[in-house]
Chain A
Amino acid sequence: MSTRLRIGFIPLVDAAALIAAVDCGFTAAEGLDVSLVREVSWSNVRDKLNIGLFDAAHMLSPVAIASSLGVGHLRVPLIAPFNLGLNGNAITVSEPLYAAILAHADGDIGDPAVSARALARIVAERKAAGEEQLTFGVTFPFSNHNYQIRFWMAVGGIDPDEDVRLAVLPPPYMVESLQGGQIDGYCVGAPWNSVAVGQGVGRILHFGCAIMARASEKVLAVPERWADKNRDTLNALLRALASAAAFVEDAGNRADVARAVAARLDVADGIVARTLAGDLQIAADGATRTSERYLMIGRDGASRPDPVQAAWIYAQMVRWRQTPFSEALLHDARAVFRPDLYDAALGEPVPAADHAPPDGIGCFAGPDFDPNDVPGHLAAWPKRPAVRPRLSVVR
């Protein structure tokens, strides 16, 4: 008899390995009967995992860490034995803001440092003219969307807590808010950047991988106590996910994968296929941009959880004052990512990533990341007054 599992997910392309595992037969082959449950909010995913309505979930990597550390919410120890996706985000801006950035640029705005400086000039001009601050949407307080857009702005000299407004918006509302002018831009995952471009309301300014070359975006999160009690089931699930992740990356399967994912997401196959290929339309005029790093699911070691990524995420939480720094918390954050469980389940040595940046993260600015010296790394950035981090209200 097969083991029944309930796994929650948010309709995003980076759930592809999970969706393919279930819909292309990999979990069934491992003797698992998985119900995928589509959710509407990360809060729901986290809470349902916490109270046992889900056995496992597709989860923002920073949420798994925040939950394990008890930052911002109840402490629930989660572990991440599988990385569902690296990268996959993009920063999209309204057409008027894009035009303004172009007009204020001192170089090629394909370079995030140039666009960030241009944005800083726009922000300063608006302030001098007494105009309202620019507003940007992110999907959750504990998300790479929040950290990447902040990192980018800060390189240009913008204080994201003081100079602009950052607001949490559910991804399905991003596009209409951009269209309605309530926000001027956002950082979100696929397919929502392509949706804005497709509707002619926004332009993709940067891929997330242009800000950080390698960032753990979503993990498979399971409660630690569940993993301890159900090791065989967990191993079977991890094997199914690893096979599915490899299947997703094989371009020969792209049409099948895109169809399965699109059906679960309620979007067109084409958008999913282009996202998986890292070849996106970035503007209404048909301009495209391609990056082999745009979204990585089963290649170049993407599936194996990397504790350096966990340390990086914790460092961002400290940088943006979501939590204080302590060596103990850093240790706990790193321990959320479990390559040991991944290795044990797959039972074979994993080839090292060939194209990973030297420090494992590869930010476009600043010093290399040192996971053993988070305070030293953060000292490279300007010190700011100790106020609480701020996210704003969309008016």
Chain B
Amino acid sequence: MRPPNPLKRREFLTGRVERDLLAQKQARATGLRSVSEFLKDAAGTGAPSADGARDASLKILIVDESPIRAAILADGLREAGFLLVERLAETRNLLDRIYAIDPDVILIDLENPNRDTLEQMFQMSRAVRRPVAMFVDHSDRASIQAAVDAGVSAYIVGGLRKERITSILDLCISRFNAFSRLQAELETAKGALEERKVIDRAKGVLMKAKGLSEEGAYALLRKTAMNENKKIVDIAQSVVTAAELFK
């Protein structure tokens, strides 16, 4: 039995991302409701907010160096009725730009070292409105944990109602998680593709050296791997290395 062809899987995945971005562009051009349909199963929190009228005026800033993830997030927020969503990918002059945008909520990727720069906003006299860290509420430990697990942190201005923030944060968490899964799948697919190449080369070596068919060469690799309690790709790598030495 042969493993599923990772190449096909990879095309499928990248195809989805590209289609999604294309759909976004089209949606923007035509004003149609758009995209990220493929994330529905993973995200599932795109329901319009009951507080729609006021949410429309809530300004949300996303600080994320990953443009695809930021796009997915921004899109989800717009679908959920948050119309004023801005993105910053370039984080130089971060505070200056934040003052210019003056957001009600800032969402920042936890892997972004600029989080420490944001912290000083709590200290500054010339902050237009003083933001408060999302983590201020002790009672909401579970949702904080979920946010940190997903890799997102949020800062909000004082006085914003908690329920509204919770709905934003929930959406971010699910989108972030969906994005991580997508990335993990892509990585797996990439790794599988590399393994595939090594196995194909090893099969070629065996076919030539031992006069085997492709199936026969693969069967030999598999049998050796089982006997030695190793992965097929490791055996294949040994074969390829040995063949190089004998050249």
Bound-state Cα–Cα, A201 to B111, Å:
27
Bound-state Cα–Cα, A170 to B65, Å:
15
Known: A47-B148, A48-B148. A139 touches B122 (CB 8 A): no
Q: Across the interface, do A43 and B119 meet the contact criterion of CB distance under 8 Å?
A: yes
Q: Across the interface, do B144 and A51 meet the contact criterion of CB distance under 8 Å?
A: yes
Bound-state Cα–Cα, A11 to B152, Å:
21
Tell whether B123 is near chain A: CB-to-CB under 8 Å: yes
Q: Classify the secondary structure of B's interface with A.
A: helix
Bound-state Cα–Cα, A345 to B133, Å:
36
Tell whether A251 is near chain B: CB-to-CB under 8 Å: no
CB of B241 to closest CB in A, whole Å: 26
Q: Across the interface, do B116 and A170 meet the contact criterion of CB distance under 8 Å?
A: yes
For chain B residues 97-118, which have a beta carbon within 8 Å of chain A?
A: 99, 110-118
Which residue of chain B has the shortest Cβ distance to A50 in the bound complex? B135
Q: Across the interface, do A139 and B116 meet the contact criterion of CB distance under 8 Å?
A: yes
Known: A72-B119, A390-B125. A51 touches B136 (CB 8 A): no
CB of B165 to closest CB in A, whole Å: 15
Count A/B pairs, Cβ under 8 Å: 88
Tell whether A389 is near chain B: CB-to-CB under 8 Å: yes
Q: Across the interface, do A168 and B96 meet the contact criterion of CB distance under 8 Å?
A: no
Cβ-defined partner of A42 (8 Å) among B110, B116, B133:
B116
Tell whether B229 is near chain A: CB-to-CB under 8 Å: no
Tell whether B210 is near chain A: CB-to-CB under 8 Å: no
Bound-state Cα–Cα, A378 to B120, Å:
24
Cβ-defined partner of A169 (8 Å) among B117, B123, B135:
B117
CB of A149 to closest CB in B, whole Å: 14
Q: Across the interface, do B124 and A51 meet the contact criterion of CB distance under 8 Å?
A: no
Tell whether A388 is near chain B: CB-to-CB under 8 Å: yes
Bound-state Cα–Cα, A172 to B136, Å:
28
Bound-state Cα–Cα, A186 to B122, Å:
21
Residue of A48, A74, A393 most packed against chain B (CB within 10 A): A393
Bound-state Cα–Cα, A395 to B92, Å:
8
Count residues of B near A (Cβ-Cβ below 8 Å). 31
Residues of B within 8 A of A52 (CB): 145
Q: Across the interface, do A140 and B119 meet the contact criterion of CB distance under 8 Å?
A: yes
Q: Classify the secondary structure of A's interface with B.
A: loop
Which residue of chain A has the shortest Cβ distance to B96 in the bound complex? A393
For chain A residues 22-74, which have a beta carbon within 8 Å of chain B?
A: 40-44, 47-48, 50-53, 72-74
Known: A168-B119, A169-B117, A389-B123. A44 touches B145 (CB 8 A): no
Residues of A within 8 A of B123 (CB): 72, 141, 322, 388-391
For chain B residues 147-162, which have a beta carbon within 8 Å of chain A?
A: 148-149, 153
Cβ-defined partner of B93 (8 Å) among A44, A74, A394:
A394
CB of B196 to closest CB in A, whole Å: 31
Known: A50-B135, A140-B116, A170-B117. A390 touches B148 (CB 8 A): no
Q: Across the interface, do A41 and B148 meet the contact criterion of CB distance under 8 Å?
A: no
Q: Across the interface, do B117 and A395 meet the contact criterion of CB distance under 8 Å?
A: no
CB of A78 to closest CB in B, whole Å: 15
Q: Across the interface, do B153 and A47 meet the contact criterion of CB distance under 8 Å?
A: yes
Cβ-defined partner of B133 (8 Å) among A44, A74, A322:
A74
Which residue of chain B has the shortest Cβ distance to A180 in the bound complex? B92
Tell whether A387 is near chain B: CB-to-CB under 8 Å: yes
Known: A40-B111, A170-B117. A73 touches B124 (CB 8 A): no
Residues of A within 8 A of B112 (CB): 40-41
CB of A139 to closest CB in B, whole Å: 7
Q: Across the interface, do B113 and A40 meet the contact criterion of CB distance under 8 Å?
A: yes
Residue of B96, B99, B112, B119 most packed against chain A (CB within 10 A): B119
Tell whether B138 is near chain A: CB-to-CB under 8 Å: yes
Q: Across the interface, do A51 and B148 meet the contact criterion of CB distance under 8 Å?
A: yes
Bound-state Cα–Cα, A50 to B113, Å:
18
Q: Across the interface, do A43 and B96 meet the contact criterion of CB distance under 8 Å?
A: no
Tell whether B141 is near chain A: CB-to-CB under 8 Å: yes
Tell whether B95 is near chain A: CB-to-CB under 8 Å: yes
Q: Across the interface, do A43 and B116 meet the contact criterion of CB distance under 8 Å?
A: yes
Q: Across the interface, do B116 and A73 meet the contact criterion of CB distance under 8 Å?
A: no
Q: Across the interface, do B145 and A388 meet the contact criterion of CB distance under 8 Å?
A: no
Known: A72-B123, A74-B136, A390-B126. A41 touches B144 (CB 8 A): no
Bound-state Cα–Cα, A43 to B92, Å:
18
Bound-state Cα–Cα, A289 to B228, Å:
57
Known: A40-B113, A168-B119, A170-B116. A395 touches B136 (CB 8 A): no
Bound-state Cα–Cα, A172 to B111, Å:
13
Cβ-defined partner of B119 (8 Å) among A51, A141, A388:
A141
CB of B224 to closest CB in A, whole Å: 34
Bound-state Cα–Cα, A51 to B110, Å:
14
Bound-state Cα–Cα, A389 to B135, Å:
22
Q: Across the interface, do A395 and B96 meet the contact criterion of CB distance under 8 Å?
A: yes
Bound-state Cα–Cα, A43 to B120, Å:
11
Bound-state Cα–Cα, A43 to B96, Å:
20
Residues of B within 8 A of A74 (CB): 133, 135-136, 138
Residues of A within 8 A of B125 (CB): 387-390
- Known: A52-B145, A141-B123, A393-B95; 7 extra A-B contacts, CB below 8 A, are A51-B141, A74-B138, A140-B119, A167-B117, A167-B120, A172-B113, A391-B123
